[in-house]
Structure 1
Amino acid sequence: MSNDLENSSASLSQIIDRPVLNDCWNKIGVMGDRSCPELKNVIHCHECQVFAAVGDSLLEREPPLNYVDEWISVLAETPIDEETQNNETIIKTASAISVMIFRLGNEQLALSAKVLQEVTHPCVIQPLPHRSNELFLGLVNIRGETLLCASLSNLLNLNLESIEEKSSILKSVNTQRMMVAGYQNDKWVFPVDEVYGIYRFHLNELRDAPVVIAKAAQAYTQGIINWQTKKVNCLDFELLFYTLNSKIL
């Protein structure tokens, strides 16, 4: 009985401490009867200052008493299956690495997430007279910033299957994406055919590259990662940037 009273009082205190929000969007906004006169100007409640102010107040509010301790207890009692346990080990291990896995032609490659800054839709590549070639494609405009664009396929000596695939790199067709990578004071843009996402691996999961792969990629492969039954070449980004600066800049 005493436990029930304690639980009831705790629930009551949470209700009392809970801030009263002006959820006008549920009453006179887009979720309500749309009678709010501001809708003519803002079109949607998401663009309204009232909606933004409520969001800010939720983010800036003080956490409830014992909030962290309660979540620690909940997580400690949560059963962990084998897959979750493996993921937790990867997250907590300092030797884990995060990589962006992408595709060039038929090759799956990985680049460290440390240097990855952005993945964008393809942009127009502006070639430079007497400077652009199969390696240095030209300049691209990413969010108002002019950046150098290079072909990883050419740098890694990847043999694309057809002339159409080679020309697609130069023309930046709609089926491609562009990866913006930066290291130290350098920033480059690389057109790619497909981006799969960011994944985490243990350093001990890196396998030495076979001799054939190492020669084909001019030793830019730091190691091989097994991902979804495929062999992914993890690139050495330091060597990559050093070579680009040596050959182009």
Structure 2
Amino acid sequence: MTNTDIAPQVIYDCWNRIGVVGDQSCPKLARHVHCRNCEVYADAAQRNLQRPVDADYRRAWAEHFRVAADSGAQADSSALVFRVGREWLALPTQLFAAVAPHALPHALPHRSGGPLSGIVNVGGKLHPCMSLASLLGIDAADAAPVQGRHSFARLLLLQWEGQAFALPVADLHGILRYAAAAARAPAATINRGLSRFLTGVIGHADMQVGCLDAALVCHQLARALR
């Protein structure tokens, strides 16, 4: 018996109906928070990977891989994309050591205001908690509603020259590979506090992502600790 002789299994995509992409009425959401943490979603993914493939499917992919790659837009850079306020920003992936759940920092005496918000526990270790919103001149409370997805605040653990910094972000998109040559100059309408930290802007899906100058950002974070 060949793979094409096996009857295909119908997969009920509940995540698109009653899950995070649907009306969010699924009773399991309270426990799992997101469909990707649910055993039903995991089982559907497993069955989807094991589904039989037909000749049309194989032919379509064969034609796809026959097309030569566009050498003019090589994805030669990698960045972690996150949101602060309403601004989608990115820093090089290699700077980050971990992603942790959001936690409120403990304030330090005589160190109110500025980028240093306090100290925070990440993985059992205390790290300085640095506010990118304060450093970049962004209103952290100013956030447009995100359609079709849940937003989860996170702590990003950044390491630079032997020092680790915990950076609170309002949302995390993930790792993005992009062509550095495709980055555009920042728009003149971007506030001056943020624009001086940007090396360019890249378009991804429906987002405009500001690429931060890693050296300048890290230098200013280290300076705020002095």
- Tell me which interval the TM-score lies in, with the shorter structure as reference length: 0.5 to 0.7
Alignment of 1:1-249 (within 5 A): 79-81=63-65, 85=69, 90=74, 96-161=76-141, 175-213=152-190, 215-249=192-226
Query: Aligned to 2:186, what secondary structure does the other structure show?
Result: coil
Structure with more helix by fraction: 1
Q: What is the CA–CA distance in structure 2 between the aligned matches of 1:210 and 1:106, rounded to whole Å?
A: 16
Cα 1:82–1:109, aligned 2, differ >3 Å: closer, same or farther?
Answer: farther
Aligned identity (percent) is: 25
Distance in 2 between residues matched to 1:235 and 1:84, nearest whole Å: 32
Cα distance in 1 for partners of 2:139, 2:67 equals 37
Deviation at 1:78, TM superposition (A): 5.2
* TM-score computed with the length of structure 1 as normaliser: 0.56
Query: Is the 8 Å Cα contact of residues 102 and 155 (structure 2) preserved in structure 1?
Result: yes
Q: Which moved more, 1:181-190 or 1:124-133?
A: 124-133
TM-score by length of 2: 0.62
Structure 2 spans left out of the alignment, 5+ residues: 1-60, 144-150
Which residue type is aligned with residue 110 of structure 1?
Answer: A
**Measured at CA, do residues 230 and 243 of structure 1 come closer, stay the same or move farther in structure 2, by a change above 3 Å?**
same
Q: CA deviation at 1:106?
A: 1.2
**What is the Cα deviation at residue 136 of structure 1?**
0.8
The one-letter amino acid of 1:140's match is: V
Quickly say closer, same or farther: Cα 1:231–1:145, change in 2 above 3 A.
same
Q: AA paired with 2:136?
A: L
Larger of the two Rg values belongs to structure:
1
**2-structure distance, mates of 1:194, 1:124:** 15
Compare relative contact order (CA 8 Å, sep 6+) and give the higher one, 1 or 2: 2
CA distance in structure 2 between the aligned counterparts of 1:129 and 1:247, rounded to whole angstroms: 15
Count of paired positions: 158
Contact 2:114 2:224 in 1 (8 A): no
The runs of 5 or more residues in structure 1 that have no matched partner are 1-76, 166-173
Structure 1 Cα separation of the partners of residues 135 and 195 of structure 2: 8
TM-superposed deviation, 1:159: 2.6
- Over the aligned positions, Cα root-mean-square deviation in angstroms equals 2.8
